[in-house]
Chains A and B, each alone.
Chain A
């Protein structure tokens, strides 16, 4: 039986997006994947918590897809975490409802892969910076999957350089659905410099 995949997508200004927009369009078209556009459904931040929890229970793999704003998620996804992952539901002695599910962060960054190294501009690695998400998964008893990251998003734009990334993301989602392991690498294939 295929796994049920839920993509929670958070982008406050999709009209400005260069990469996420195309990733989102692609993700919508993967069969068996539920695509949930948070900023579209909750433009006023009034999150329907029971509905969100039910939706979580109905899926096996949760994907947070968003741009990497200030080493974290856009505000609405943070709000979503704060409200939906309640004590007694997601954590705590009786909060076991999410146990056994998997969590994947699918992220675009403005900086290059090198920027996310000790020598780079951002000093910390992606894995380190995503520690809050990793620990969130741990506390909820979920399996933390290796993040899917597209660096240098502001450089990409033309369909040619973007298409391999889109293909890779589509493949990742399909693999998750079909129970195959996600690719381990966080480093994208090299990008032709202009």
Chain B
């Protein structure tokens, strides 16, 4: 009964039973997987034998995939925006934590070397648990989520120099020969996070190789991936595309390992490069399930590896260590959140999220034992501490959500499954995505005129409010293809995209164009930049959300200062025509800042000129000369 299938059976049964239970209890899927691991692990039912370590190394590939997917969602511009957090927040977190732990250790009379090494190791947080938990709660795009992500990314990069630094902290310095050879002795897991195959090269050569490889990944992502995927997509064999997507991720990982960089970092870069690719959604859809399964497996193995024997023999020590670790990291994180001006509730989420130890710690701890920095007996309680702190993290999220956040702003709404859309609604000719301030006006206008609409909205509160005033709205994310199908997109004539999240509305345009090309799109645009995004995708029927009401206000102000109502209204209409035309003309320039502004200025000046000459001569450049008195001396008067 030691077969692969049997193991798979055990893992899957455990997951399928515990994860829904954990979700049901509002604890999140991560805790469910961890519990599953504890149950099937050696200290409970002992169903999976002693191979969990191997499985874990394999499952860690889920983290790599996760970073690839995160990269796909991240436009390069956003990454650039995060640079301050990445270097500042991330750097201060890692070295601040290491320093504080070293000081505490020194104060306890442990010297500074060991505590500092331990500090570097314990500064790491769990990318897998944190990102999964944030994503599950829809908090990845919040300020706290973005900051946490930046810190995790920095940690991922920092592992590489830390691996180089740790052997130097040994009480009896390792000989250079040992330092070099240990690189090969690293477990596979370490390789996944950055062991080196080019260690024999000189430092500057290594640097060159690394730069070349990263540049190669970027270039390949830019110029190679799209054509290749186009060829594969043309075969119309669905699983081939999945295979190609997996191949992409795995080959990037292998390349990175070869040059001693973190595979997760490499796939993240690849993801960012492909964020603008037309195959982005396909890649997401194909890699997503693998990522989910592998991460789940990874969490199970973490649960299975919690050393309950150690916990039984010295519960006080472990509990104390876990508490101390979480407290120290939490305090440092919270101070940093303050320095980087996160609002208090955001800062709390950020600090609770990153307070645990991470999976890197397992790698680094076995690495330091191999290098005689730590003895195995010293490392064991730390390993247990990290594992326990990871297991506690989902509870910290729940604690933060249930007991801490309510004291601040309104609590985040609980995760909720999409509504079932009744069959009658699937025949409606119009789908409205987003039923907030904008969409509900469109929806009511259509409904009042007898046009059948199917409405989707992602804000549970809004759905409730609208339902209470007697309108039917389905809760659900309109960017999901299956939900669009359920909403009757195959039969509908058009879709009104009225969601206020700009990135989401653009994503929805792409999804609709890809899967329901017959649907005519009417899109709400936040402003010019958003409008340009639509035009880039061929959508000309976009409506800037504030244009109408600001012109209405302008008309009333013109009237208040003495203009005739009809004249004011016509002026506003002329303005609107001109502005709509200029938004369409400027679309081709907007990626070039200088050109864009000079062109925009030209148009504004021309427009002002037109009105100014009208005010002087009483004539409009075009449009209403028919109302002018006849010119004097015209024979037709006589």
Chain A positions near chain B (C-beta within 8 angstroms): 12-18, 39-41, 43-44, 69, 110-112, 114-115, 120-121, 152-155
Contacts and interface: CB of A to CB of B under 8 A. Distances in A.
22 contacts: A13-B627, A13-B628, A14-B567, A15-B567, A16-B618, A16-B628, A17-B629, A39-B565, A39-B566, A40-B566, A43-B565, A69-B626, A110-B637, A114-B638, A115-B636, A115-B637, A121-B635, A121-B637, A121-B638, A153-B629, A154-B631, A155-B637
Given A15-B564, A110-B630, 5 more contacts: A12-B627, A39-B566, A110-B629, A115-B636, A121-B638
A43 to B, nearest CB: 4
B632 interface: yes
Contact of B629 (A43, A120, A154): A154
Contacts of A18: 629
Nearest to A111: B637
Interface centre among B568, B618, B637, B638 (most CB of A within 10 A): B637
A114 B567 CA distance: 33
A154 B630 contact: yes
A111 B630 CA distance: 9
A69 B632 CA distance: 17
B567 A13 contact: yes
A39 B618 CA distance: 18
A152 B628 contact: no
A83 to B, nearest CB: 17
A133 B636 CA distance: 24
Nearest to B618: A16
Interface in B590-638: 618, 624, 626-632, 635-638
Interface in B180-232: none
B568 A43 contact: yes
Nearest to B619: A16
Given A12-B627, A13-B627, A16-B627, A121 B566 contact: no
Contact of B566 (A12, A69, A120, A153): A12
Interface centre among A13, A14, A15, A153 (most CB of B within 10 A): A13
Interface in B530-587: 564-569
B24 to A, nearest CB: 55
Contacts of A44: 569
Interface residues of B, number: 19
Contact of B636 (A13, A69, A111): A111
Contacts of A115: 636-638
A43 B566 contact: yes
Contacts of B631: 154
A154 B632 contact: yes
A114 to B, nearest CB: 6
Contacts of B568: 43
Contact of A121 (B564, B569, B618, B636): B636
Contacts of B637: 110-112, 115, 121, 152, 154-155
A43 B552 CA distance: 12
A111 B566 CA distance: 26
Given A40-B564, A43-B568, A16 B629 contact: yes
Nearest to A122: B636
A14 B624 CA distance: 12
Nearest to B626: A69
Given A44-B569, A111-B637, A39 B564 contact: yes
Contacts of A39: 564-566
A65 B356 CA distance: 83
A112 B638 contact: yes
A41 B559 CA distance: 11
B631 to A, nearest CB: 8
Interface centre among B618, B627, B628 (most CB of A within 10 A): B627
A40 B629 contact: no
Contacts of A112: 637-638
Contacts of B630: 110, 154
A17 B629 CA distance: 7
A17 B564 CA distance: 12
Contacts of A121: 635-638
A120 B637 CA distance: 9
A111 B638 contact: yes
A112 B638 CA distance: 5
Contacts of A110: 629-630, 637
B638 A15 contact: no
